[in-house]
Structures are given as C-alpha cells and as structure tokens.
Structure 1
Amino acid sequence: METKKSPKANLENYSKLFVQLGLVLALLIVYVGIEYKTFEREIDDLGVLNMGEEVEEDIPITERIEQIKPPPPPPPAPEVIEVVEDEKEVEETMLESTETDENEVVEVEEIVEVVEAEEVAEDVPFAIIEDAPIFPGCKGSKAELKACLQKSIEKHVGRKFNTSLAGDLGLDPGKKKVYVVFKIDKSGNIVDVRARGPHARLEKEGISVVNSLPKMIPGKQRGRPVGVKYTLPITLLVE
C-alpha cells in the first residue's frame, strides 16, 4: 500500500517564501550592524607622574701635558779657524758647434752600393717556373714551350707505357692511376724518379718509361739554371 503525502506538507511549495524571509533577515542584520553605536569609556585618573629634576654634573676638562725635551747642545767651536784660499784652476770645456756653413765645403766619403745577390731555390715546381725546360723539337714563346713540353711528355709515355700490363695483374675493372714524380736537373737530365700506383709492377713500368725521356734544355729561374720538379699522372683503363 503506497503512502500518500499531503500537498500541504510539501515544503517545495514554500521555497520562494523561505528565500524572501532569508533576504529580509540578512538585510535586518546588516542594518542593525550599521546602526550599532559604541561609546568611549572614561578611565580614572592615574595620578600625576612626578619626574625628578635632572642633576647636571660638571665634568672637569683634562689636558695632556707633554714633556718637551731640551735641544741638544751645539758642537764645540774650534779653537783656531784657518782660511784656505781656493787656488785650483777649473778647466772649462769648450763645445764646438756641429753646424756647417752653407759656403763651407764638406768632404763626403765615397758611398759604395752593395748589391745583395738574390737567392734562387735549387728546385722549383713546374707550375711556377719562369722558363720551363725545353723538350727537343719545341719552339715558340714561353707559354708555347711550356705547353709543348707537357704534350711531348704525355705523348712519349702513351707510346712507351705497356697498357696491357694492368689487365694481366688481375686488378678490378675501372680507371687506375699511377703518379710518377721526377726532376729535370740543371743539366736537363731526368733524375729522382719515384712512382705511386695500385700495383708495384705498374710503378716500375712508370719509372722505366719516364727514365727513357730524352735530355732537355734545363729550366731557368731569374736567368739561372735550376732543377724543375714535375708530377705526371698516368691513367689506365682496366676492363
């Protein structure tokens, strides 16, 4: 059996009334707090505080007395005072002027010009040599002689080098390079030949081919014969 609540007992119906009552009560509390008055309390007389007069004391001023030492007595005077006459002659130093007269003839020693000999390196790289070595049969200007030397060396090596040697050594396919470094000395001979490559037999072949180059006219630097360093790259194609 369900219980039924009376509609009058439901408080939700009076919620607005409760809100209004609460608001009125809050306003009343605020009003009373503002209108509340307080009064100052009277404090009984604590009596008269009697401060005694300050007693002033006279402090005597003291002075520091320093003892003054008497000065030392003067030295005793000599019994006899001798007067010595200054008879020594003083030599005067005469300063002569270093200035010369315009009309005076000044002798000047002969000036000898010393020409220092310019040092020239014994070995000069081929890239900076002034006068490149001359390959037999080359003619023309300095630039033409230099270009002719390079072409002649490359032609000689290409004709003499055994290109089939690279394929017989079992090297991997591709381009292989052998660098040969040598010097054309002051007499035009090929000396100090060295090589670096992928195989010792290729290096030996490169040295042998370069040593077979003909004698050349030596290069010059500042008009003097010098050794010329040359680097020759040899490219081989291995199939």
Structure 2
Amino acid sequence: MEQKKNPKADLNRNRGLFFITGLVLVMALAYIALEWKTYETTTYDTVGLNVADDLWEEVPFMEFKTPPPPPPPAPVIPDEITIEEDDADITETLIDTTELDPEEEVKYEDLDVVEIEEPDEIPFIAVENVPIFPGCEKVNDKKACFEGMIAKHIQKNFQYPELEKEMGIQGRVSVIFVIQKDGSIGNVRMRGPNKNLEKEAARIIDKLPKMTPGKQRGRAVKVPFSIPITFVLQ
C-alpha cells in the first residue's frame, strides 16, 4: 500500500522563510547591542570645586604719583622806579648775619642724654662675644670651639638609662640652658619622649664646667644655648 504524504506536514516547506526571519532577528539584536548607550552617574566632591584658578589675567600696573607743587609766584616788578635824592631819609632793612663770632663764648644748653638699655639676655647667635668654654681661650673661632667642646662633653658623660635600654625606648631630648653672667650654668629646660631620658640629659648639662660669660658691648650678659641629645640603641 502506497503511503501518501500530507503537504501541510512538510517541514522543509517554510525553511527559507524561517532562515530569513532568524537572520533579520539576529541582525536587529546586534544593531541594538551596538547602539545601546549607558551613562555613568558621577558624584562630584565640592571640595575639589573650591580650587583657585592659577590662570591670572595680567593687569597693567598703574602708578599714581603726587602732582608736583605749583611754582612760586613771579616777583612783582614796579611800573615806575623812583630815584631818591642823596640826602633823603631811606629806611634800610638790616639782615642779621648767621656767622659766629670766634671771640664770643658759645653756651650750650643742657641736653638730656638717653641711654639705650641692652637686654639682659642675648641669644648665642646674636651676642657680640660668645661665652668661652675652658680650653677655647686662645682659639680664633670661639663659637665653633664652644659648640665642639659641648659635643665632646655630651659624648664623654653620656650614659643610657638601664630601664629604657631594656625596654627599647629611644628618642631625642631637646635641651636649652643659660650661661649666666658669672659663667655658671642655669635655667636648664628639656623636653623629650621619656622622663628618665630627660633626667639623664639634665645630669649631663649639670656637669658642664664654669665658663667665661658672653659679653655685649663690653658688658656681661646671659646667653641661652640649645642642643638636642639623641638616645639611640645600637
């Protein structure tokens, strides 16, 4: 028996139509994907907007000058010149001379002399004659010698506190002291990261010898001096 095929059940009949439809759909999706645009939302920091503009417009400099004073008036010339007789009484104007008579004694009035008081304390960098460390008397550059001898003194008397050494405490102690008018050391002040390090710095400064005091205009003055003492574990 011969089998008959229903033309409506033929799957290959509309294959070309399906192919074209699918191709058009794919191209449309590709076009949409390429043309699709997204916009990123950006937040601006108001602090960044307060930056001053570096581009300044150059403004021509305008100089204002005070106008010169008016010229003095011209002398008045009389219209007529009168000639007086020799025996006529003429009043003459006498002009006193400003020259001094060498034989006349000049009297000076008492003047109030105001003495400028020098400050009682002059910084080390500004004092005329810096304090003299023992051993620097014959050195020309006494300032450099003073600083060098201070550094040697600190190195010689330096001792690291045992407790801080075991705990690994390090730091720098800023020390300031005053060479008094008699050459002694006083008014020692310090600031550091640890009390024991400050005490050790004070002990070193207290061992400084008596010095020749600094002088300003030939007068002994107090001279403050500052130096850092650094505590570093090797």
TM-score normalised according to structure 1 size: 0.51
- SS of 2:114's equivalent in the other structure is coil
Q: Identity of aligned pairs, percent?
A: 38
Change (3 A) 1:103 1:237: closer
Q: Which amino acid aligns with 1:218?
A: P
The answer to whether the Cα contact below 8 Å between 1:176 and 1:238 also exists between their aligned partners in 2 is: no
Q: Which residue of 2 aligns with 1:123?
A: 121
Q: CA RMSD in A?
A: 2.7
The count of aligned residue pairs is 139
Which amino acid in 1 is paired with 2:224?
Answer: K
User: What SS does the aligned partner of 2:232 have?
Assistant: strand
The answer to whether the aligner puts 1:177 opposite 2:175 as a matched pair is no
Q: State which structure, 1 or 2, has the greater radius of gyration over its C-alpha atoms.
A: 1
Out of 133, 138, 153, the position equivalent to 1:135 is 133
Letter paired with 2:177: F
Query: Deviation of residue 164 (structure 1)?
Result: 5.3
CA distance in 2, matches of 1:204, 1:103: 75
Tell whether 2:208 aligns with 1:216. no
Which one of 107, 110, 115 corresponds to residue 108 of structure 2?
A: 110
Residues in 2 aligned to 1:120 and 1:162: alpha-carbon distance in whole angstroms? 40
Q: Return closer, same or farther for 1:102/1:122 CA change in 2, 3 Å cut-off.
A: closer
Matched, 1:236 2:231: yes
Residue aligning to 2:194: 199
Question: Partners in 2 of 1:149 and 1:227 — Cα distance?
Answer: 16
- Counterpart among 181, 187, 194 of residue 186 in structure 1: 181
Cα distance, 1:190 vs structure 2: 0.2
- The residue aligned with 1:34 is none
Shift of 1:167: 1.8
Quote the offset at 1:131 in angstroms: 0.5
Q: Which structure 2 segments of 5+ residues have no match?
A: 1-92
One of 141, 145, 150 as aligned partner of 1:153: 150
CA distance in 2, matches of 1:138, 1:161: 22
SS at structure 2 position matched to 1:187: coil
Shift of 1:229: 0.4
- Deviation at 1:163? 2.8
| Counterparts of 1:221 and 1:104, CA distance in 2 | 42
Give per-residue Cα distances to partners, 1:192-230, cap 9 Å, x unaligned: 001111100000111111011000000011111000001
Displacement of 1:238 in angstroms is: 2.6
Are 2:161 and 2:200, in contact at CA under 8 Å, matched by a contact in 1?
A: no
In structure 2, relative to structure 1, the CA distance for the partners of 1:141 and 1:121 (3 Å cut) is: farther
Does the 8 Å CA contact 1:134/1:219 hold for their aligned counterparts?
yes
- Per-residue CA deviations over 1:120-167 (Å, capped at 9, x if unaligned) read 11111111111000011113455x111111111111111112135442
The 8 Å contact of residues 138 and 149 in structure 1, kept in 2 or not, is answered as yes
Q: Deviation per CA, 1:82-133, whole angstroms, max 9, x where unpaired?
A: xxxxxxxxxxxxxxx9964679967642244554322111111111111000
> For residue 145 of structure 1, what is the amino acid of its counterpart?
K
Q: Secondary structure at the match of 2:155?
A: helix
Q: Which ranges in structure 1 are unaligned for 5 or more consecutive residues?
A: 1-96
Partner Cα distance (2:99, 2:233) in 1: 91
Q: Which residue number in structure 1 is paired with residue 165 of structure 2?
A: 167
